[in-house]
Amino acid sequence: MLHIENITKYFGGLTALEDISFFVKEGIIEAIIGPNGAGKTTLLNIISGIYAPDKGSVRFKGLEINNTSPYQIAKAGISRTFQHVELFGNMTVLENIMVGRYLRTKAGLFACGFRLPSASAEERAIKRDSEQILEYIGLSHRRNEKASSLPIGEERKLEIGRAIATEPSLLLLDEPASGLNEVETSDLSFFIKKLRDQKNITIILVEHDMRLVMDISDSIVVLDFGKMLAEGTPQEIQNNKLVIDAYLGEDEEVCL
Amino acid sequence: MQITNRNIFIGFSIIIIILPLIFTSSYSLSIATFSAINSLIAIGLCVLMGYAGQVSLGQAGFYGIGAYVSSILSIHLGLPVIFACIVAMIASALSAVILAIPALRLKGHYLAVATLGFGEIIHIILNEWGPGGPSGFGDIPRFNLFGFVFDTVMEYYYLSWFVVMIVMAFSINLINSRFGRALRSIHDSEIASNAMGVDVPKLKIKAFVLSAVFAALGGSLYAHYVTFISPSSFSLFQSVLVLMMVVVGGITNLWGAVVGSIIITILPELLREFKEYDILVYGIILILTLLFFNKGLVPIVIEKLQKVKP
């Protein structure tokens, strides 16, 4: 579904990513792990079009998407969440989801301004679909509250809800468990699996919480200082000598 | 009673309808008409600034384009005023697109300076090449529709406020549609709205064009009301005035644009008795408003009213 080929990215003199290649199969949860500064978020930003790679290509469903702007990539079916939550803070919880529906609706400026029947019908559909998504992520009771007033756990949920409102086939999650407590994290792991199994969404997950990663991933890519260190199933990664030295540490108990 | 846009809209319409029964002098009706014309420019700027988060100091430019194009077409080509007005809005929209494509790459202060430059260019063009140059021209026909000429001040008062209410309804609908939500989302997090599939540059251009069209509509109504126009009405000072209207009324609420326009239009008239000190008093009132009501009047009043409710 997603081919990453020889991706290299420089920031000034710094090489953020060097010659990264891997392939994400449809219908799986692929985790990208690595120490801070390994280039994980940079890679997500390249896939979602925020950065253009200096070398290499990204192909999504056979289509080359490097040098494509983020909104077109969203249209192609890739959505994402952010490491530092980027909700629309002054809008309500429901409205945040409704913005996600923007992409899949088409009423024009005049139709909206004069509230033509076509626009009104579409608006009702947007509302209905968004309410359904709120129900799905379990935030219906917060519908009319400002997004900025939510606690971090619900903020992260809402970000995922907003992302699935765009009907993605590939969802990029950037550290969705950061800031969550243990209960919320296990809740999240259940929810991510549900997205894969019920909604058929392929997921790329950047995460530091090793328990979550090892629990839900089908495949793992390990980055270290912008280079690819290893790739494999959770089992393989946990037994990989290179990965243990560089990242997981000698004492596996601490991380697992 | 709940404070919904619908309720404010109905209340406001009633006030507009009965106001001429209370203030019958043509002087007060004339000020009310100018308030309506200013409201049109302010509503456009409010959509642009309060919702799309883009600053413009060049709205007088679009206002001027509206007034001049509409007047010239109706005088020299004998075009019915309504068509002249529509062409003026299209001309303003086109100039907004030409300005927006390079200018909206800029942000904040830089965008403000770029639009200020645009306003000044239009002002200079009107001065140099406009009919009558700096002294302007007259004999502009009054607004007429299907043979009905809006001759009296009261007729024009109703016409201009009717237009304001239509523009207002349009804008409220827009803000509460997918289009408006996308605009507001840009304001909160441009990076996220882009990632959610909002074509941010295109949407900003649309908001900019909309503000230019509303300003041109105001310009056309102005020209066919006063029947004599000169470039001095479309200077930087007018752009700043409109900015003040939006800020005083409350940038985050469309009704703020209308309330702000009324206040800023009436204030100089009320300050007549201070004679040459009027500018001083005017300035002090504005500074105090911004100091103590920095969200703008309308959002603060709505907040207060909502607290009163049980």
Contact B181 A162 (CB under 8 A): no
Query: Which domains are seen in chain A, by residue range?
Result: 2-87+169-255 (3.40.50.300), 88-149 (no CATH)
Structure confidence by residue, pLDDT tens digits, A31-58: 999 888 889 999 999 999 999 999 999 9
Q: What percent of chain A has pLDDT over 70?
A: 96
Interfacial residues of A (vs B; Cβ cutoff 8 Å): 48, 50, 69-71, 74-75, 79-80, 82, 86-91, 95, 98-103, 105, 107, 109, 112-115, 119, 122-123, 126, 162-163, 165-166
**Interface with chain B: mutation pick from A99, A114, A124, A144, highest number of B CBs within 10 Å:** A99
Q: What is the largest CA-CA distance in chain B?
A: 61
Residue B6 within a domain: no
Q: Are B75 and B88 in contact (CB under 8 A)?
A: no
Q: Which of A87, A103, A113 sits opposite B197 (nearest CB)?
A: A103
| Amino acid residing at B165 | M
Q: Which of B208, B81, B194, B209 is nearest to B145 (CA)?
A: B81
**Interface with chain B: mutation pick from A91, A109, A122, A149, highest number of B CBs within 10 Å:** A109
User: Which DSSP state fits B277?
Assistant: G
Q: What percent of chain A has pLDDT over 90?
A: 81
**Interface with chain A: mutation pick from B178, B203, B295, highest number of A CBs within 10 Å:** B178
At B229, list the tokens: 């126009």
Contact A112 B187 (CB under 8 A): no
Q: Which of B170, B174, B189 sits opposite A88 (nearest CB)?
A: B189
| Amino acid residing at B269 | E
Chain A residue nearest residue B174, CA to CA: A113
Question: pLDDT confidence of A256, banded at 50, 70, 90?
Answer: very low
Contact B193 A90 (CB under 8 A): no
Number of domains in chain B: 1
Q: Which of B191, B196, B206 sits opposite A102 (nearest CB)?
A: B196
- Chain A residues whose CB is inside 8 A of the B199 CB are 69, 71
- Chain B residues whose CB is inside 8 A of the A115 CB are 173, 177
Q: Which of B70, B119, B12, B56 is nearest to B217 (CA)?
A: B70
Rg (CA), chain B: 19
Cα separations in angstroms, A217 against A3, A47, A118, A192, B181? 18, 19, 43, 10, 35
Q: Alpha helices, DSSP H only, in A1-80?
A: 40-47, 70-76
- Rank B150-159, B219-228, B299-308 by mean pLDDT and report only the highest: B219-228
| CB neighbour class for A202 (10 Å; exposed up to 12, middle 13-18, buried from 19) | buried
Residue B294 phi, psi (nearest 5): -70, -10
Question: What integer is the mean pLDDT of A96-117?
Answer: 94
How far A114 CA sits from the closest chain B CA (Å)? Answer: 6
Question: What integer is the mean pLDDT of A106-130?
Answer: 94
Q: Are B51 and B207 in contact (CB under 8 A)?
A: yes
Rg (CA), chain A: 19
What ipTM is given for this predicted complex? 0.88
How far B202 CA sits from the closest chain A CA (Å)? Answer: 11
At A107, list the tokens: 């009423």
Q: Is the pLDDT of residue B233 over 80?
A: yes
Chain B residue nearest residue A163, CA to CA: B196
Question: pLDDT confidence of A254, banded at 50, 70, 90?
Answer: very low
In this prediction, residue A251 carries a pLDDT of: 52
Question: What integer is the mean pLDDT of B242-270?
Answer: 92
Residue B239 within a domain: yes
Question: pLDDT confidence of A147, banded at 50, 70, 90?
Answer: very high
At A232, list the tokens: 């494999």
pTM of the model: 0.89
Residue B128 within a domain: yes
**Interface with chain A: mutation pick from B2, B172, B185, highest number of A CBs within 10 Å:** B185
Q: Is the pLDDT of residue A242 over 90?
A: no
Say which residues have a Cβ less than 8 Å from residue A38's Cβ, sequence separation at least 6: A223, A224, A225, A226
Q: Which of B178, B189, B191 sits opposite A102 (nearest CB)?
A: B178
Contact A113 B171 (CB under 8 A): yes
How far B189 CA sits from the closest chain A CA (Å)? Answer: 6
Q: Is the pLDDT of residue B91 over 70?
A: yes
Q: Which stretch of DSSP H or E encloses residue A184?
A: helix A182-198
In this prediction, residue B53 carries a pLDDT of: 84
Residue B4 within a domain: no
Question: pLDDT confidence of B296, banded at 50, 70, 90?
Answer: confident
Q: To 10 degrees, the CA torsion angle through B28, B216, B199, B186?
A: -30
Q: Are A111 and B178 in contact (CB under 8 A)?
A: no
Residue B226 within a domain: yes
Between CA B174 and CA B190 the distance in angstroms is 19
Residue B12 within a domain: no
**Mean pLDDT, chain A, as a whole number?**
91
- B265-302 b/e (C-beta count within 10 Å ≥ 16 → b): bebeeebeeeeeebeeebeeebeebeeebeebbbbbbb
Residue B276 Ramachandran class (φ > 0 left, ψ -120 to 50 alpha, else beta) = alpha
Q: Are B46 and B187 in contact (CB under 8 A)?
A: no
Instruction: Identify the CATH number of the domain in which residue B222 sits.
Output: 1.10.3470
Contact B196 A112 (CB under 8 A): no
- Of B144 and B67, the structure prediction assigns the larger pLDDT to B67
Interfacial residues of B (vs A; Cβ cutoff 8 Å): 170-171, 173-174, 177-182, 184-185, 187-189, 191-200, 206, 210
| CB neighbour class for A143 (10 Å; exposed up to 12, middle 13-18, buried from 19) | middle
In this prediction, residue A249 carries a pLDDT of: 63
Q: Which of A78, A71, A87, A74 is nearest to A4 (CA)?
A: A78
Q: Are B207 and B47 in contact (CB under 8 A)?
A: yes
- Chain B residues whose CB is inside 8 A of the A127 CB are none
Residue B48 within a domain: yes
Q: Are B100 and B204 in contact (CB under 8 A)?
A: yes
Between CA B102 and CA B116 the distance in angstroms is 14
Residue A60 phi, psi (nearest 5): -120, 120
Q: Which domain holds residue B196?
A: 26-308
Contact A113 B177 (CB under 8 A): yes
How far B70 CA sits from the closest chain A CA (Å)? Answer: 23
Contact B196 A162 (CB under 8 A): yes
Q: Alpha helices, DSSP H only, in chain B?
A: 5-22, 26-46, 59-76, 81-103, 108-129, 153-175, 178-188, 190-195, 200-226, 236-249, 254-270, 278-292, 297-308
Residue B8 within a domain: no
